[in-house]
Amino acid sequence: MEAKKQIAFVEYFENEWLNSHNTWYENIQHFTPSTNDGLESFNKIIKDENTYRERIPLSRFRIITFETVKQWSSQYKHKLKQYIQTPSITLDIWTKGYQWAKSDKSVISMNHGYTVEYYAPADDEFKISNNDIDTINTMKWNTFDQYRKRAFNVWYIKMQNDPTNWMKG
């Protein structure tokens, strides 16, 4: 009985999420946040610092909201808080990046004018083929095993084609 349920689930998953709705997974939309962590972070601040996790009447919530927005606006205006424009890169990350760049992995780059795409083999692989790249770009999976194998076989990076501004890529 348990094996039948597992087979039924795998068939359902393949039909529903790999064949019909194949844009559900984490890596589908490049250059966009993959989670709502930023929004949840602000929600936590509002609850911890402003509403104190109390249920309050709508009229009071409205007042607190205006006070919160005013407070946040003045913090950013006076540079008490800043948006991070470029990532900070630790020595450890620089070292790992250097070691990876010196490895024998073959990276394929495709120049598209204002952008450049990089394809790199994942895990212990050292080479990728044009077929691997085509598979990633067409995102066609017939089985869950194919998805699992192909989705994590090649790393895809798309950046602005501006060597002087690579940190904002």
Does 20 fall in a domain? no
Of residues 1 and 27, more confidence is placed in: 1
Task: Name the more confident of 88 and 118.
Answer: 118
Are 72 and 91 within one domain?
no
Same domain, 102 and 142: yes
Give this prediction's pTM. Answer: 0.48
Number of domains in the chain: 2
Counting every residue written for the chain, the total comes to 169
d(CA 24, CA 119): 22
What the block records as the tokens of 35 is 């989670």
Q: What is the pLDDT of residues 54-94, one digit of tens each?
A: 888 889 888 988 888 888 887 766 666 666 667 778 899 99
- Its sign, for the CA torsion 69, 72, 77, 83, is negative
* 115 and 45 co-located in one domain: no
Residue 72 sits in the same domain as residue 129: no
My answer on whether 158 and 97 are in the same domain is: yes
The reply to whether 97 and 159 lie within a common domain is yes
Considering the domain architecture, whether residues 95 and 164 belong to the same structural domain is answered as: yes
Classify residue 158: in a domain, yes or no: yes
Identify the domain boundary among 77, 101, 131. Answer: 77
Quote the mean pLDDT of the chain: 79
Q: Which domain holds residue 50?
A: 37-77
